[in-house]
Amino acid sequence: DQQVKQNSPSLSVQEGRISILNCDYTNSMFDYFLWYKKYPAEGPTFLISISSIKDKNEDGRFTVFLNKSAKHLSLHIVPSQPGDSAVYFCAASLIQGAQKLVFGQGTRLTINP
């Protein structure tokens, strides 16, 4: 039973354009959502997060949108840069404080020059 789903295993975007990565979840109890970026041979790096009481959070080129009614969140990267090429994981948390994170399967983003 996969509670967090990223249905696109891969995404290819032209440099300078917008990258949109999507994530769906099934458990309405999730109250905190995060995006992580992972390069090969490195651990996941925290990018941006959003609380369930908000519908948008922005940090520089990264914006996360949350649609609670649809149980859907997305990460927008604009403009996309070659260094953004990595695997992106969506994660959701059930517990505040010490978090039990549940990860999606990941989307490999490739930015083409």
Partner 1 sequence: DTEVTQTPKHLVMGMTNKKSLKCEQHMGHRAMYWYKQKAKKPPELMFVYSYEKLSINESVPSRFSPECPNSSLLNLHLHALQPEDSALYLCASSQLNGINQPQHFGDGTRLSIL
Cis peptide leading into 9, omega within 30 of 0?
A: no
> Measured from the CB atom, is 19 or 107 closer to partner 1?
107
Interface residue with partner 1 among 13, 21, 30, 36 (CB under 8 A) is 36
Interface residue with partner 1 among 11, 20, 78, 101 (CB under 8 A) is 101
Interface residue with partner 1 among 34, 64, 66, 92 (CB under 8 A) is 34
**Is residue 86 a contact residue for partner 1 (CB under 8 A)?**
no
> Measured from the CB atom, is 81 or 103 closer to partner 1?
103
- The widest CA-to-CA distance across the chain, in whole angstroms, is 41
**Is residue 83 a contact residue for partner 1 (CB under 8 A)?**
no
Helix (H), strand (E) at residue 89: strand 86-93
**Count of Cβ atoms closer than 10 Å to residue 75 Cβ:** 23
Q: Rounded to whole angstroms, how far apart are CA atoms 44 and 102?
A: 14
Compute CA 52 distance to the chain's CA centroid, rounded to the nearest angstrom: 14
Name the DSSP letter for residue 90. Answer: E
**Is residue 44 a contact residue for partner 1 (CB under 8 A)?**
yes
Applying CB under 8 A, which residues contact partner 1? 31-32, 34, 36, 41-46, 49, 51, 89, 93, 96-106
